[in-house]
Structures are given as C-alpha cells and as structure tokens.
Amino acid sequence: MAEGVSSSPSSREDGAVPPPPPAAAPPPPAAPLPVMGFWFMGLLNNMSYVIMIASAKNISEGGTGLVFIACVLPSLTIKLTAPYWFDRVGYSYRIAVATVLMVLSFATVASFSSSLQLQLVGVAMVSAQCGMGEASLLALAGRFDSKSDDPSTLTCVTVSNQKNKSKCKSKCITAFSSGTGLAGVMGFLFHWFCHDFLGCTLGRTLLMAQTLPIAYAAVYYFKFHALDDDSQTQSSCSYNSQTRLLSEVPECNEPNPFTGNENDNVRHRKGYAGLKTMDPDEEFQHGSRDSSLIATTPDAQQEGPHHHVTALNIEKALWIRDTKQNRSQEWNDNSQGEEGGVSSMEEAELGKSVEEMSPSERMKLVLSLWPYMVPLFLVYAAEYALQAGTWTAIGFPADSKEARNSFYQYSNWLYQAGVFVSRSSGTVYTAPMSILWLMPILQCLNVVFFTHVGLHSGIGGSIVWYYSKGVLFPCCFYVGLLGGGVYVNGFTRICADVPTNYREFALASVSVAESFGIVLADVSGLWLQSCIYKANGIPGAIVSCPLSMS
C-alpha cells in the first residue's frame, strides 16, 4: 500500500481517531426589539392629533363636529388608499412627510385664528400626519414582532418541527398602542397646562407644540432609520439543533429578516415586500423563492453555484410542495378555532406576495379582514359620537358654557386615561374574538346612556339622580377602557392570526376601520349635540335638530 494512501484517516491501522470538526461559531446576540422607540413614536404621532381635539371648542364653539370631521377625512383617505401604494413608498419617506405635515398644521392653526376655514385646513394636515404615521408604524411594529427573539432560530433551512407556529408576541404593537394611549392623556394635559394654567392663547399653545415634530423625527432617525442602511444586508443566518447540517451545504446566505439581501433591501425600502417570516410553515410560499431550491440531480449540481445536491434540498423541496397544497386550508382551520380570526383566504392569493397582487386581489385581501375591522369601526363610531356630540352638551350646570367646557375637558381626559390603561395590556392578555366583538356593543350602550343623561340635565325639566360627576366621570374612564381594549386586541389578534407575509399589509389596512367609524361619529355627533342643545334650550349649535324635543 502506498505511503500516501496509508496515511489517510480511513486506512489507518493504529486505531487513531481523527480530530473532530471545528465547532460552529456561536450565534450573534439577539438585537433588542426597539420597544421604547415604538412607544415614543406612538406618543408623538398621536399627541398632535389629541391637541387638536382638545382645542376643538377653542377653534369652533358650536361646531366641534366640523373640527372632528376635518381631523379625520384626510386620515381616512390615506388609510383607505394605503393598501395600493404603501409598498411603493418606504417607511422613512412616509415618516418624513408626516413630520412636515405636523409642523405645517400647528403653524397654520396658530397663524390664522380669524379664519375658521384656514384653521380647518391646518386641522386636516394633522389628520393626514396622524393617519400616515399610524398606519406605517403599526405595520413596522408588526414587522419587528414577527422576527424571532432568538437568533439561533434564524435558519437557512428548517426540516423538522414544521408544525410549530411562530408566535407573535406583539411587544412592539403593544408598545406603540400604549404610546398612542398615553398621547391622549398628554395631549389634553399639554393643552390644559398651556391654555388654562399658563393662560396662553391657542396660537401660542400650538407654537409651543412645535417641539413635537422635532422629537418625532429624532426618535425615528435614531431608532429606525438604520433599517434603510445597506450595511444591514449582511447575513444573520445560523443553524440550530433542528437543522440538518450537512457537509455538502454551502455557506449560508440567508438574508437579514428585515433587510435581506441587496434586492430585498430595495424591497424593504418600498414597503411590505422585504419582510422575512420566521415561521417554517409560511417560509418559501412564493414560487419565485422556491425555484432556486429544487435541484435534485447531479446534472443540476454542475450548472452553477446555486445548485447543490443534498438530501436537505430534496426534503425541503418536498416540504415546499406539501406546504403549497395545504397552507390555505391549514390557516382557515386554525383561524376558525376557539379564538376565531380570519375565516377565509383563497389559495391563489396565498401563493402571491403583496407586491405581486393586482388591485382587485388586494381589495379582496382587505375585505377578508372584516372580523377585525367591524369591531374597530363600531367602537370608534360610538366613542367619537360621545366626544363630538353628547359630551359637549353636558355640564354642571349644563346651561353654563364654562361648565360644559370643563366637563368636555375632564371627560376626555378620563377617557384617554382609560385608553392608555387598556392599550398597554396587549402583552398581558389577548381577547378572543367573542370578547373583541362584545366590547363595541357595550360601547354603543354607553352612547345611549350618556344621551339619556344629557337630555335630563335639569334645565327646564327633570334631572336624573345619576347626573353627577361621581357617576359620569368613572363612566368616561370606562368608555376609554373599551375603546383602547378593542384597538390593542384587534391588532394583536391580527399579529397572531394572519400569516407573516401578509401581516404588515393587514395591520396597515385594518386601521382604516377606525377612520370610517370616526367619520360616522362626527356627522352624527353634530346632530346629537344640536338635539341635546335644543332640548335644554342651549344656543350655539351650527345645525338644526330635525326632531321635536318638547
């Protein structure tokens, strides 16, 4: 036997054991989720809107509904059209536009106090800012919540444990929701401190609020702007114990879960398409991603560096085929379980990414999210009808303008406190669909209750025993609990129920339901206010109540 051959490990006769292969490098530490970043963005994004709401009676005493309408129509337009263009405009561009709109809105309302029309234009600007920011940041929060907390689970190929669903912990969605909830408290506090405590005019109050867009842009730049950095495109892939690590498998080039490879980084800048799912049941659904994986013959191995013949690729290719055949029914079965959820999704749509869908397919996808949209619509319609209509006509006594303004301010303050408490509960409790639908029904009962109270305020007639601060103020807090509960649980359920590759799209799209509810509430609020004013003999309503209130 030749000397060179006898020295090989397989032919050694001395029984020596060859050295073990070098140990794999440990995975990099997990990057912390920017939870506080989302909390501050939620606070700053919605605080501008709340300041305008708190200033509604200062802008138009008898037409607070007009201010509310101007504060929602642009937001509705943006959210309604978002499914058709958000994937073409990056997050950074949208946040930059929102920042400019916030600056212009405060300046316009502050500078044209003598013109209601121009002030309403300024209110409309803050509506557009809030709508664009909210829809964008909810989707971005869903992207972060969809990534694995443990980088060791970011595998190039996972061939076992395929039925384990990735759990959306909703930390970022809850943080953003909590920030928007506190925005209500802080917005009314800001208005009270500047306008009532310091005695500033509305113009000075809004000029002082120009610090908000500066902070808004700064938080986004330092916390999230790095997502658009090309340096983020390096691989973060590693192998865990559930991955079959074969010697034939080449160097892993799985992209970063947010920015991916160079092409996916461009996609990321344009919206949803850059999202990488961590769920093995959802990975590789799209044919464009599957084609490079199915190479199972020696001839294919010789065609180029992207064709590698391994048992791993064969098993993976078979699993992809089975997943494509079963995924639609599997999601449908899961979502109709005890927790409820989306009840239908066509298999043809599941095989497409959002960017590959036609407008009609996107609309069908949006409409399939109705189980989440209807509760959000109802709860917002009810609570904003209270704010725009009923609460403006209640006071102690109701015939005093100052007393009505005081009740309006404190009722909204307590409402926002309730919203903050419930919107901060997303990581503690996720409501089943039955509870999600029950809460807006209870909110509609609150409208009936407060309208009854407003009609029996004691002016020229009877007064009910529960027409008191001790009863009504806790009820205002309860209204906020219900409203915030539907908000946070609706979006956390989407994060838990909707497949990862549609999650950003769903989160951005469903938010339009709240804007529809607010529009309905603002129109109905004008009539509610006018009818309660008429019943109590209070002048100042800008529309006439069509009902006989004798």
Does 231 map to a domain? Answer: yes
CA distance 245 to 237: 13
**Considering the domain boundaries, does residue 234 fall inside one?**
yes
| 298 within domain boundaries | no
Name the residue range of residue 154's domain: 35-285+354-536
E strand or H helix that includes residue 347? helix 347-350
| Residue 86 amino acid letter | F
Tokens 């999600």, located at residue? 436
Q: How far apart are CA 375 and CA 532, in angstroms?
A: 27
Q: Tell me, yes or no, whether 55 lies in a domain.
A: yes
CA-based angle 77:78:81, to the nearest 5?
85
Per-residue pLDDT of the chain in tens (550 residues, 90 and over written 9): 545 444 554 445 555 666 666 665 665 555 667 899 999 999 999 999 999 988 887 887 666 668 878 888 999 999 999 999 998 999 999 999 999 999 999 999 999 888 888 999 999 999 999 999 999 999 999 988 887 444 433 333 333 333 334 456 789 999 999 999 999 889 989 998 998 899 999 999 999 999 999 999 999 999 887 655 433 333 333 333 333 333 333 343 444 434 334 444 444 445 554 444 444 444 434 443 433 333 334 443 444 433 433 343 434 444 444 444 444 444 444 444 444 444 444 444 456 788 888 999 999 999 999 999 999 999 999 998 998 889 988 998 888 888 998 898 889 889 989 999 999 998 888 899 999 999 999 999 999 999 999 888 766 556 778 888 999 999 999 999 999 999 999 999 998 898 888 899 999 999 999 999 988 988 888 889 889 988 888 887 878 888 877 6
Rounded to the nearest 5°, which phi and psi values hold at 90?
-70, 165
Domain for residue 58, yes or no?
yes
Instruction: Enumerate residues 6+ apart whose C-beta is below 8 A from 520.
Output: 381, 385
Q: How far apart are the C-alpha atoms of 511 and 493, rounded to whole Å?
A: 13
Contact 355, 87 (CB under 8 A): yes
- Residue 148 located in a structural domain: yes
Please give the Cα distance from 119 to 67 (Å, whole number). Answer: 9
pTM of the model: 0.73
SS3 content of the chain, % helix, strand, coil (to 5): 65, 0, 35
For residue 114, give the CATH number of its domain: 1.20.1250
3-state secondary structure of 503: helix
- How many domains, the chain? 1
- Dihedral angle of Cα 281, 282, 288, 289, to the nearest 10 degrees: -60
Give a yes or no: residue 186 inside a domain.
yes
Has residue 397 been placed in a domain?
yes
